Structure 1
Amino acid sequence: MEFLSQFLVLGANIQVFEPEAIGAFAIVLVVILIVPIIFERLRIPGLIGLVLAGTLLGPNGWNLVNTNSSIMNLLANIGLVYLMFIAGLEVDTDFCRCHLNRSLGFGCFSFGIPLILGTFLARLCGFEWNTALLIGSLLSSYSLLGYPIISRLGVLNNQAIATTIGANILSDFGALLIFSVCLVIHQLSLNAFELLAFLGWLTIYSTLLVAGFYWAGKEFFRRSGDDEGNQFLFVVLAVFLATAGAQLLGIEKIIGAFLAGFALNELLGKGAVKEKLLFVGNVLLIPIFFVNLGVQVNLASVVTNLETFKLAVLLVIILLISKFAAAVMGKFIYRYKWQETLSMWSLSLPQAGTTLAASIIGFRAELINEQVLSSIVALMLLSSALGPLITSKVSAGLNTTPVTEKTLVTSPIAKHALGDNPYTIVVPVYNPQTQQHLMEMAALLVRQAKGKIIPLAIATAANHMDAPQVEASLQRSERLLVKATGLSQLLGVEAEPLLRIDDAFARGISRAAREKKASLIVMGWGKRTGIRARLFGNVIDSVVGSSHCPVAISRLMESPSKIQRILVPVENLMAATLLPIQLAQVFAEANKAQVTVLNVCERRTSSSKIASRRSQLNSFVSKVGLTNPPEVQIIAHENTAQAVLQAARLYDLVILPFIRNRNVPGGLAISDVTNQLARQLTCSIIMLGEPQRAFAPVFSPEVSSKRVIVR
């Protein structure tokens, strides 16, 4: 099989090209590390930079990377398989179920119209029917590169947005089906009867693979318990078993990889294993594939060769027209507004994952030539840059479910005010330097709500409970709890210290919080800790992604009792901002402090729009039910972060809301503005967020896009 043969070739020739291959690999790693950062600073998706960098490194540029390198080709092939596996793993079945009819309808439009127009264009350009149908299928799918943008804008609940996300499943499946049929016809010259037999085998294989892998995965995960390492290896093994099985049946390997991801989708959920799978793919394997793609493609021919240039331009025009036509049909059938229609169009524009995977396989099988491949890559680069850019412009301010009284009481502070639940705060104690301020903050909150604090210490477990390290960890945890209990007595609040033995700090914290029905988790955030932490080994990142209740990540420069002026910047007015405003008001009532809710609009915003926004903010804040509503300020400025930084000089504490979204790798959906503020503010900071499912936006000022992951 292909991968086995590559390994054998690699072993046979390792002595010949090892120095050159290792050097090329080092260069590629430097590119993967640096280039995406540069392009994202320019508001351009990093994958575009990777492909362009590969072009410069290849034989059509500086010739630093050999196209015949066995190591690079092997890693690129693994990256290709992993890309399609991630595409299947990231299919959002929840959106499809909730909006099934509309997703199927728009999916048919966004798949069928580009397929027909693309095939017609290819026939006009002189391609035979099989190749023309493949080219049409390359335009029929789309990658949700704009997903992180709409998530940060808080418009995921918009009906048109949800429909577009759900329709992505149908377009991917349809494109892969057409691709597999075209490929097998080209390779085996099947007649009609043989083609029907192939489709039958494909159906049987897909059904058995999805059902079998789901069952096997469920049993393995049940028996392996919390062993994430073995679960990770099981999933990777499943991917390559699926690709090997597909090749044995004459099915292209990317079909097997996609089906493996789809089969394990619901099983993995949004847990730590899935996050690690995404991390490995998005950080290393998939970027290597994009760089290697650039090495193999002559993008200069798109400009220097007139025929290639004409084909690329025509493909771009057909893509824009066909996707827009699909969105317009969705508008008239489902009665969407024009802003929603443009959002659907921009979300369905990017051609990345499935399109590139199918085109590179088609090129290797000689079903499409280098001219078509170069044109498709140029199409990918343009659509991947244009789609998210349009999404960030047209999706801001989309209407979703309005904030109702029921929505307003979703936060634990509001629930306690209505007498629903006792207010309980879990404070993990580990760092003695930050412990006192965290306990003071928790005491301030529970004193107002007449609740209690649960100081929590996690002792690290071992294979044997009588191991010396377990005893040492228990003794240290007991000392921390004694200190925390003494602090709570001095602060005059009820404390219920809890010592827990667990394999990992993050799991221990989130599990204990769930068992104790915690209303809030308060954690310390050191000065040297990045607000968007790495996946592996970071406690805060894991707790944020897994806990059932809101999490407050605090960096307190002084005692909370000394805080007199509090600023709450509001980037998107939605239910996520309720808890920060209420938290600020609790501080204010305890310390007789002043609270300001700040919103920054564009400098060219008219006075009437500013007045309307101020009215919306005042109305929103008044519904929170506070006895002393905070002051509302609107500032017109060309740079949101700089405006907030200037205003924050007069305040002791800034409370920044963020989105806890389990659909985003790492669990946090942080806008550029919030990220910059968290890094540059010198006063005390509290990062506060609730799960994304609780949000219901009212209006969303424009925010800039951040890094997007290939879906």
Structure 2
Amino acid sequence: MLEDLFPLTDAGAVFAVLLLLVLLGPMITRPLRLPDLVGLIGLGMVVGPNVLGVVSGEVLINALGFVGLLYLMFQGGLDLDLEGFVERRRASVVFGAVTFVLPMLVVTAAALALDVPFLAAVIIGSALTSHTPLSYPTIARYDLSRNPAVTASLGATLLATVAALLVLAVASAGAQGNEGVGYWLLFTGGMIGYLAFMLLAVPRLTRWFFRGLGQDREVRLTYLLSGMGLAAVLAGMIGIEPIVGAFLAGLAFNRFVPDGTVIADRVAFLGRSLFIPAFLISTGMMLDPVALVTDPTTITLGAVLVAAEVASKWGASSISGRWLGFSASERGLMFSLSVGQAAGALAAVVVGQELGLLGPPEVNAIILVIMVTALLAGVSADRHAPRITPPGTEGRSLGKRVVVPVSNPDTIESLVRVAGQIAAPDSGAVVAVNVLPFDAAPDQVRSNKALAARAERAALATGSEVNTSVRIDASIDGGVLHSIVEQDGTCLVMGWEGQTRRSGSLFGTVIDRCVAISPVPVLVCRPGLDEPTGRVVLVVTSDEIAFGHDRGLILAAEVVGRLTRQAEVSSLVISDLPEQELRERLEGHLRPSEVVTEPAVLRALASRVGEGDIVVAVTPPAASRLGRGAHRVAQAARGRTVVVVVPR
């Protein structure tokens, strides 16, 4: 009777079993202190065709498993710290080279020692040379995504995977007799063109889409996931493995999905709750436990390959980590991220089977390696991640998390637009905060939630991501400070009327208190006429330079650079410093389109400021004498937007 019922063929029944396994897997493994992925792979093996045969795995489960495979690589590209990768590219190259070469030599030699044919041994070597960062969800949970060892490991994932897949392509071409020069010229041209399209054209297209049609988060989520699928399909069409396309899609979208934002959480939730578990279950369904116990060839080959892969990956992590100066726990993270086998190994299994080079013993042995290394990756991450302190905010870029208190309906769009332009170069997020007193009435809370919603729409219209919050606190300045700390802020943008209400004040009582207690740089913004930016004007005086020791000038130059790049406009610097000295001070920070040097700086500003200009001024912190100067700059700007930079 059960034979007539199983395997399940109804799509709804298969989907129900899949979700039940996703639910049961962690419930079984967590009390045993085992990684969730071990339970998911084990349950997949039990319900698969080799044990109970509840699910055949030929339709829905395979489709979802393949999407999960793509998603793993896609999420790795999304979460890669690009700034850290650029800064530590040497570490990524070193680890990528070592973790490719050492396992390739060791695993291929081990397979040849067991009388595996040469091309099959090369394919097995390529399968176990690449790696999939299966332990990344654990590392992300401990907020270690920006740890230097993690950044180096994720960068090495790209290098090792691409190199391994190139070896696989060479081996498969050799098996099919495609060894001509024309084939490799076509393959190389396709690879170069594909890389250029993904890393140059796709980010521009995404920026245009997010600023136009993609101002709704559901639309953005659909765009990102469909982009992942299309990138995989295009990669397959030119002879590149789809998982490489998914990883490159993640890199292309990286700057548009800032950490800690709603869109990032939605992408991660969808993968963690469905796609990745489906992939792990489908992997388990490929495993034949009977063959593992009864077939001597499978047992021997599996044991040797596990030992060779684990030893070579541990050796690569240890050698590279010591050379690069990482701690023992960081080297453990490198091992946990590089020992796991999934994406590349499964791709090699499929190719080897299609070419007739890998039989059931080799396939079962590789699946065994995948399962054992998945367990080791999870155990290593659980052991080493809690021992590492998450990176602090020191040294983080100005635009990673731009906090904007919003309370005035007339200035919300202007403030959020400036904040979005500051955040965009760092793929950062705008955090719109509305602070209310403890005795706020319900109507006041509702109206301020409406203001927060307006701020969200304004930020999305600029192509930026945004988080909103209505906060109840004892004071406005205290609420702003708490928001900076809780939201991990890197910059504060505050609205200003352009005048002070008492003698000796910088900007006004509330803003002065926020400036005094803010742990991050402050941009005090007097919104002007709501119009497209035509030019950015930097105002610098010798008094401010002497007082601020260039800190304010450097920060103001960075702000001007961000505004000009985002608006694609020119910059003008007005100063009473000699032009040569000014250019020397700005060297490496800003290349102004034009420099005007006049003793009467404000008079020059008033005569040159025009429609669409944004004026940026330098003001050192706690300098009431120059507070009046900021007020005069706002007057001379004649209704244009003024941004006063206060460094920390």
The reply to whether TM is greater than 0.5 is yes
2:10 corresponds to 1:29: no
1:384 and 2:390 aligned: no
Whether 1:334 aligns to 2:324 is yes
1:209 alignment partner AA: M
- In 1, the alpha carbon distance for the partners of 2:194 and 2:445 equals 61
Partner of 1:47: 37
Q: Is the 8 A contact 2:131 2:338 kept in 1?
A: yes
How far apart are the structure 1 equivalents of 2:286 and 2:75?
23
Q: Is the 8 A contact 1:456 1:499 kept in 2?
A: no
- Following TM superposition, by how much is the alpha carbon of 1:137 offset from its aligned partner in structure 2, in angstroms? 1.9
Q: What is the CA distance between 1:55 and its match in structure 2?
A: 1.5
The residue aligned with 1:510 is 468
Q: In structure 2, how many angstroms separate the alpha carbons of the residues matched to 1:456 and 1:353?
A: 53
1:281 alignment partner, SS class: helix
Tell me what 2:646 maps to: none
Q: 2:270 aligns with which of 262, 267, 280?
A: 280
**Which residue type is aligned with residue 311 of structure 1?**
L
Matched, 1:263 2:214: no
> CA distance change for structure 1 residues 165 and 19 in 2, over 3 Å: closer, same or farther?
closer
2:294 to 304, 316, 323: 304
Give the equivalent residue in structure 2 for 1:111: 100
Deviation at 1:110, TM superposition (A): 1.2
Alpha-carbon spacing, 1:352–1:121, altered in 2? closer, same or farther (3 Å): same
| Greater RCO (CA < 8 Å, at least 6 residues apart) | 1
1:454–1:498 Cα contact (<8 Å) kept: no
Q: Please, which runs of 5 or more residues in structure 2 have no aligned partner?
A: 1-6, 396-404, 408-432, 458-464, 493-517, 519-648
Shift of residue 151 of structure 1? 5.7
Structure 1 contact 239–256 (Cα < 8 Å) conserved = yes
Aligned twin of 1:123:
112
Distance 1:151 1:243 in 2: 25
Deviation of 1:214 after TM superposition, in Å, equals: 1.7
Cα 1:44–1:323 change in 2 (3 A) is: same
- Cα distance, 1:45 vs. partner? 2.2
Q: Which residue of 2 aligns with 1:604?
A: none
Cα deviation per residue 1:17-36 (whole Å; 9 max; x = unaligned)?
99644323322221122213
Q: Tell me the equivalent position of 1:248.
A: 237
1:643 paired residue number = none
- Alignment of 1:323 with 2:304, yes or no, is no
Are 1:146 and 1:387, in contact at CA under 8 Å, matched by a contact in 2? yes
1:319 maps to amino acid: E
Relative distance call for 1:297 and 1:148 in structure 2 (3 A) is closer
Aligned partner (choices 359, 377, 402) of residue 369 of structure 1: 359
Alignment of 1:451-490 (within 5 A): 454-455=435-436, 479-481=441-443
Counterpart CA distance in 1 for 2:225 and 2:390 is 38
- Does 2:131 match 1:142? yes
Matched residues in 1 for 2:352 and 2:488: separation? Answer: 41
Deviation at 1:307, TM superposition (A): 0.7
Within 1, Cα distance between the matches of 2:239 and 2:11? 31
- Provide the C-alpha distance between the structure 1 equivalents of 2:390 and 2:217, rounded to a whole number of angstroms: 37
CA distance in 2, matches of 1:376, 1:499: 56
> Could you tell me which amino acid in structure 2 is paired with residue 519 of structure 1?
L
Q: What is the CA distance between 1:544 and its match in structure 2? A: 7.4
TM-score by length of 1: 0.54
Label 1:183 to 1:203 Cα distance change in 2 as closer, same or farther (>3 A): farther
Counterpart position of 1:239? 228
SS of residue paired to 2:468: helix
Alignment check: 8 A CA contact 1:95 1:165 kept? no
Q: 2:35 is aligned with what amino acid?
A: P
The answer as to whether partners of 2:81 and 2:145 remain within 8 angstroms in 1 is no
CA distance in 2, matches of 1:80, 1:350: 13
CA pair 246-220 structure 1, distance change in 2 beyond 3 A: same
Query: Could you tell me whether the CA contact under 8 Å between 1:57 and 1:65 is conserved in 2?
Result: yes
Q: CA deviation at 1:304?
A: 1.7
Q: Secondary structure at the match of 1:219?
A: helix
Q: Secondary structure at the match of 2:289?
A: coil
Shift in CA distance, 344/240, structure 1 to aligned 2, threshold 3 Å: closer
Alpha-carbon distance in 2 for matches of 1:274, 1:497: 25
Residue 88 of structure 1 is aligned with which of 71, 77, 91?
77
| Alignment of 1:352 onto 2:342 | yes
Mapped contact 1:346–1:388 kept (Cα < 8 A): yes
Name the CA shift for 1:292/1:205 in 2 (closer, same or farther; >3 Å): same
Structure 2 counterpart of 1:663: none
Deviation at 1:206, TM superposition (A): 2.4
1:309-340 CA distances to partner (integer Å, 9 max, x unpaired)? Answer: 11111111112221232234225533555555
1:233 Cα deviation from its structure 2 partner = 1.8
Equivalents in 1 of 2:177, 2:153: separation in Å?
A: 36
**For the structure 1 residues 74 and 215, does the alpha-carbon distance in structure 2 shift closer, same or farther, using more than 3 Å as the test?**
same
Q: CA 1:231–1:186 in 2, change beyond 3 Å: closer, same or farther?
A: farther
Q: Which residue of 2 aligns with 1:538?
A: none
Q: 1:159 & 1:370 partners in 2: Cα distance? A: 40
Q: 2:18 touches 2:61 (CA, 8 Å); kept in 1?
A: no
Partner of residue 208, structure 1 = 197
Q: Distance in 2 between matches of 1:342 and 1:76?
A: 28
The counterpart of 1:72, out of the listed 48, 61, 79, is: 61
Residue 451 of structure 2 is matched in structure 1 by: 500
TM-score relative to the length of structure 2 = 0.58
Cα distance change, pair 324–425 in 1 and its aligned pair in 2 (3 A)? same
Q: What SS does the corresponding residue of 2:293 show, helix, strand or coil?
A: helix
Distance 2:180 2:209 in 1: 42
Instruction: Classify the secondary structure of the residue corresponding to 1:519.
Output: helix
Counterpart for residue 167 of structure 1: 156
Using the TM superposition, give the Cα deviation of residue 147 of structure 1 relative to its aligned residue in structure 2, in angstroms.
4.1
CA contact (8 A) 1:217 1:264 kept: yes
Post-superposition Cα deviations, 1:583-633, rounded to whole Å, max 9, x if no partner, equal xxxxxxxxxxxxxxxxxxxxxxxxxxxxxxxxxxxxxxxxxxxxxxxxxxx
Contact 2:81–2:146 under 8 Å retained in 1: no
Matched residue type, 1:350: G
Q: Secondary structure at the residue paired with 2:131?
A: coil
- Contact 2:107/2:308 (CA < 8 Å) preserved in 1? yes
Aligned equivalents of 2:138 and 2:69: distance in 1? 25
